Every structure is written in structure tokens, then in C-alpha cells.
Amino acid sequence: MDLNLEGKVALVVASSQGLGKAIAAQLAKEGTNVMLTSRNEDKLQNVRDELQGIGKGKVSYFPADIKNAGDITSLVTKTKEEFGKIDILINNAGGPPGGTFEKFSDEEWQHAFELNLLSYIRIIREVLPDMKENGGRIINIASSSIKQPIPGLILSNTFRLGIVGLAKSLAEELAPHNILVNTVAPGRIATDRVAHLDQMKAEKQGVAKEDIEEASKKNIPLGRYGKPEEFAKVVTFLVSDASTYMTGSSFVVDGGMVKSI
């Protein structure tokens, strides 16, 4: 199957580690030109050096705080200066802190909104002029909580669903321009974020982190956490020319964990 990604340009947000890095790596292997971004320039440089040369495409980076509208504008401008266009946008962001409803202040709700929903809106707005000319792919990374809320993650549960509504609406609005918009939601993928959540849960329950992991695996039909590269391959398929008739959909990559239909 020819994915036809060689020479395409992808902006991958929050790509200095975790799922963003895995997606960037998979795209680079396919020959895509990739712009990395996060707040940490040292990490970005290390990832750029690691990924450069694994495929025919070029890998570059630009530090940005995606809660800052000016940084987003600069990021998109830099990407177009570097590569001439943007064909693919991978919207991604670190998850908000865990906790229950009464724990969080207005300021913490506002911070989560700006990081996990408003940033996606702003970045899409900035890339649309390019994509409306030649078509494109937008992937919004969410969480398995879009299908089944996760206890103790009320901020994520709330704003991840906003991502689904955004993607579903945009899929209809942007279809005439051949822009496909989909949501991809990870379950228990072996990233630093999941390890941190497991550690928090372990401390709360007074047990070892390994006990939490084993209990989680028992709820996953495949019996293990996913690998970041497994998640990245699903995203890569969706942004490729192998996927031309799916838009407005939500895909959960979770080893069968979520039981909803």
C-alpha cells in the first residue's frame, strides 16, 4: 500500500516526547517533512537529531507555547517558511492534571481549556489558508475518555469531548475543500503521561505502581499497554492517501479496553 506521504509537510504539536514524538518518527520514516514543536528547545533539538535521516524527509523544530496565540502564529509562519506549505496537522497537547471536581479553581479550568481545546482551535485557524488551497488532513489527539470518562480526570473528560465536537463540525464545514478531520484517542499507551497517572493512583491507594499497571492490564483484552509506535501507525494511515473517505470520525486505539459501542 502506497501511503504517498513522501514530500508532504506535517506540523506535529507536542512532539518532543510521547505520542507526538512517535507520530513524528513514523511520518519521517514515510518521507514526510516534519516540523516538531514544544516548549522545550533542548528536547526538540535532541528529537530532531534522532529523527533526521530515518527517512527522505527533512525534520526541523520551532519552540512554542501553544497556550500563546502569538507563538502559534509564529510556529505556522516558520513551518511555511521552512517547507513552503502545510499538508498535515497533528494537534496534540499534554494532558491536564488529574483530580476531582472540587479540587480545581477557575484558573485551573481556564488553563486546561487553553491547553487542551483552545490551542487546537487556534492552530487549525492558522493552517486553514494553506489547506483550503490544496486539501489536507487534520488529526486531533484526544483520549479514550471521549467514549468512557476516566475517574479522577474531570478536566480531561470535559475538554476532550469538546475536541470531538470541534472535529465533527469542522469535518462538514471543510469537506468541500478536501480537508479531512478526525479524532484519534489513545487508551493505555506506554508513555510518561500514563506512567505519571499510574504513579498518582498508586500513591493515593497506598500500593506499588506495578500493582496499578497489572490491574489496568486486566481490563485490556490484549493484556498489555500499547506501544507509542502502534498508536502512531494509526495516525499515519489516517493522514495518508490510503485514507480518503473517512472524516468526522473518532478512532480509539486502546487494545479493546473501552467497552462502549
Q: What is the pLDDT of residues 57-108, one digit of tens each?
A: 999 999 999 999 999 999 999 999 999 999 999 999 998 999 999 999 999 9
Q: What is the pLDDT of residues 108-158, one digit of tens each?
A: 999 999 999 999 999 999 999 999 999 999 999 999 999 999 999 999 999
pLDDT of residue 213: 94
Task: Say which CATH architecture domain 9-189+228-253 belongs to.
Answer: 3-Layer(aba) Sandwich (3.40)
Evaluate whether 200 touches 213 at the Cβ level (below 8 Å): no
Q: Does position 249 have pLDDT exceeding 80, yes or no? A: yes
Q: Where in the chain is the domain with CATH 3.40.50.720?
A: 9-189+228-253
The Cα–Cα gap between 38 and 71 comes to 11
pLDDT of residue 99: 93
User: How much is the CA Rg of the chain, to the nearest whole Å?
Assistant: 18
Name the pTM for this structure.
0.95
